Structure 1
Amino acid sequence: MLAPVHRGRGDPTYRRTDGGAVWRAATTPDGAATTVVHRRPDGTIVMRAWGPGAAWSLDGLPALMGADDKPDEFVAHHRLVADAHRRMAGLRFGATRRVWDQLFPAILEQKVTGVEARRSWRELVRRFGDLAPGPAPEGMHVPPTPAQTRAVPDWEWHKA
């Protein structure tokens, strides 16, 4: 469910453990947050969160897991889309509720090749984002906020 928010190997905002837990560092309206999400053996999804944005992140768990999807209201306007929808009836799309955290790396991906974009993303997050709050795995960072991004000098963009 969370794979689409991760930007390649070494993404400093995302870690997946051998046990299947997913760690994320993100910005929220309340400040930075680190979350860890895992599935219990009974199928229950559990999230823990740290930082000023912890409560906001926890409130968003249902949306992140796709609970806001309304598959009965979906209308496919093309045969291939209708076929895919039928084959993957249980598919849900999670919503992070944070456009900026997804938009920033997507813009980089429009400007250069995927490999270059992911390298730039890693570099920009490590240099201009904050360390992830709480007991995050080593090296995790929160993406730069819009204000932090605006403060990056032109020459630093070219270095990344």
Structure 2
Amino acid sequence: MVAVLENDVANFLKKVPIDEMILGIGDVARVTGVSTSQLRYWERKGYIQSSELTEGGNRKFSYKTVIQVKQIKQFLDQGYTLSSAVARARKRGVYAEVLHSFFEQRFIRLTADDHQETIDLGIFDPEPAYHLVAYRQDNSWRFRLDPAK
């Protein structure tokens, strides 16, 4: 059996509206384990930002901020100070943005079957007649050039 993410599905995955995924402060507290009062404090200190305030004054947070809160909490649980935890979480956020950008620009297709998984990363710049394809073999990722279709 072969599972292939065709172009329409690949395009959908690349364009998931992460910035439009908004949660209320109570939901953020529940999924991250950080109290609402702590979230308000972090926002006042500029460590995190709410996306919007509703007419009733309720804070709404983006999915990216939820991830940032979760990372800050993990660093705090490891014994880092709040300012150090925030700095580390922000650095991870930069890494995530780089990976997101790469994925958006280069991901073409994913194929998986009983024998091999492949990820088509698009045109191989030095040789435009080929696509750079990552494939998993013996639990490690390797690369090959396949003719462009």
Shared topology, TM-score over 0.5? no
The structure with the larger Rg is 2
More strand by share: 2
TM-score calculated relative to the size of structure 1: 0.26
More helix by share: 2
